Amino acid sequence: MKSYRIQRALLAFSIILSPSIFAQGTSSESKTKNESSFYIQKNTDAPGLYKVDGQSNTRILVADNFYTVESVLKSAGRLYVLRLNVALAKTEVIFSDDQGKSWQNLELLDRLLDQLEINSANELIAYNSARMEDEELILSAAQLALKETESLLRIYPNPVDHYLKIEHQFADLKPGDIQLYSSLGQSMKLNINEENQCFTLDVSQLSPGMYYINIQLEERLISRSIVIK
C-alpha cells in the first residue's frame, strides 16, 4: 500500500509539471485514428477542458474564476471530470456520455480534491494529490460497471408519440431482449425493427401514460421509464 501511495504521488507530481493534463487511457500508442483525446489547459487566456479530434482542438468545458477543471478520466464511453467550485470550496464530479456536448452531476463533496482515478478494486475515487489520506469513493465497482453499461445505450425521444429508438453498442443485443410494460406490469406486444445497432419501436397504438422498458443484457437488466403522449 505504501509503494502504491508513493507511485501515485509521483504521478501527481509529474502531472503538475505538465503544461496540460491528458485524459487517462488516451496515449498515442493506444489511440485509433477515430478516437478523441482530452486535456486540461491552465494558465492560458482560455482555460478549461479540451477535446482533440483530428487536427482540431475544441474547448468543451470552460474554467473561470468560479470553477477550475482539475482532472479528467475517460472510461469506456463515459468522460468523468473533477472540478472545483472555488466560491463554495467544494469539489464536483460531473460526467458526459456524448464527449462533452452535455454534462450531468454525479457527486458534490464538501472538501477540496484534485484527482480522479480508477483504483485496483475498479472503484472510481477522488483524492487530494498533496494529502494522500484524503480519498473519497465516488462509484463502487458495481456502480461504475452499471454506469458505463448505461453509457452504451441511448433511448429517445422521451416523451414519445410514435417511434421510440434504442441506439446501443452491444454486439449480442436482440429484439427479444427488449420488453415494454405498462405501469400495471402488463407486457406490451410491439413490432421491433433493427438496423445498424438501432432498434425502432412503434408505440403509436399504445394508450398515453407511463411505461417501463426492460433491456436484458448478459449479466444485468437495464430498466428505463418512458412516457407515451
Residues of the chain with pLDDT under 50: 1-7, 9-22, 24-33
Strand order in the sheet with 187-188: 187-188, 178-182, 209-216, 221-228
Entry pTM: 0.61
What size, in residues, is the chain? 229
Q: What is the pLDDT of residue 181?
A: 93
Set of cell numbers at residue 86:
472555488
Domains delineated in the chain: 38-141 (no CATH), 157-228 (2.60.40.10)
The rounded percent of the chain whose pLDDT value lies above 90 is 46
**DSSP alpha helix (H) spans, 71-157:** 141-150
Distance CA 104, CA 136 (A): 19
Supply φ then ψ for residue 213, to 5 degrees. Answer: -110, 125
Q: What is the pLDDT of residue 34?
A: 53
Q: What is the pLDDT of residue 23?
A: 55
Q: Alpha carbon of 85 to those of 60, 88, 131, 176: distances in Å?
A: 18, 6, 19, 46
